[in-house]
Amino acid sequence: MFELDAKLTVYLHRDAIDFRKSINGLAGLVEADGMDPFGSALYAFSNRRRDRIKLLGWGGNGFWLLMKRLEEDRFVWPRRPQAVMELTTEQLHWLLEGIDIEAVRRHPARQYRHAG
């Protein structure tokens, strides 16, 4: 498994895409959504069957494209209504490992004034 910089922003495109699209087609989808494909971000796309993911990123002097294909399983894709949602790199790793990121709940952030 690869590791991504924890400060990297990940944008997940909720709708399925035509997986014949390569770098130029995916960069065009990113631009059509009003985002910058040359920015410091990673863009995640899935096919209709949810058994493949493509990740598009800008590496400073060129794009890179990474694809993962599952042989028997499906990715648990978020069902939120927005077309593009922001994830942390940790959530992307969970998604790639088959974890339902909508089911994972963290403790709420708390602000305390006194110990004890």
pLDDT at position 2 is 54
Residue 103 inside a domain? The answer is no
User: Which structural domain range is residue 43 located in?
Assistant: 9-96
- CB burial string 83-110: b at 16+ within 10 A, e below: ebbebebebbbbbbeeeebeeeeeeeee
Residue 116 domain-assigned? no
Q: What is the pTM of this model?
A: 0.83
In a domain, 84, yes or no: yes
* Residue 2: inside a domain: no
106, part of any domain: no
| 86 within some domain | yes
- Please report the pLDDT score of residue 30 as a whole number: 96
The count of domains in the chain is: 1
63-94 pLDDT, tens digit each = 999 999 999 999 988 887 778 999 989 889 88
Question: E strand or H helix at 69, and its extent?
Answer: strand 63-69
